[in-house]
Amino acid sequence: MPRPKGSKNKVTRSKAPRKITVANNDFETLIAEKTSAKENLTGEIATLEENLANIKADLKAKKAELKKLDTELGKLEEQKAAFDAREAEEAKKAELEEMIQKLMADGVSAAEILEKLN
């Protein structure tokens, strides 16, 4: 049978709680320091939480404004497309009328004009 690895003579340390050594038993000063540090941190945390709440409210308002602008922009783009289509249709109509006037001025009959249009 093979031997187990490692030494059997290992020193095991017990995990005892760390003791605070205080000169002259000045516990009152240490407690006061730790309490003031805790109060400072608590105040900073409260300030940061308040700032975070304000930033979240601003973000929500900005997102709502952005959504509103996106919908308005979409509507304007649709109106522009409809306007452009209407303008193109009117331009075609004006060009067709101009062509008909030119053909009539050249002495072409109405029947021949209809044949050219079809």
Task: Report the number of distinct structural domains present in the chain.
Answer: 1
- 111 inside domain: yes
Percent above pLDDT 70 for the chain = 79
Q: Which tens digits make up the pLDDT trace of 55-103?
A: 999 999 999 999 999 999 999 999 999 999 999 999 999 998 888 888 8
In whole angstroms, give the CA distance from residue 30 to residue 24.
Answer: 12
Higher pLDDT, 29 or 8: 29
Domain that holds residue 111: 24-117
Within a domain: 17? no
In a domain, 28, yes or no: yes
Is residue 113 a contact partner of residue 104, using CB atoms and an 8 Å limit?
yes
Please indicate, yes or no, if residue 43 is contained in any of the structural domains.
Answer: yes
Q: Is residue 57 part of a domain?
A: yes
In a domain, 13, yes or no: no
User: Is 60 a domain residue?
Assistant: yes
Give CB contacts under 8 A, 24+ apart, made by 77-82: none
* Confidence band for 110, pLDDT divided at 50, 70 and 90: confident
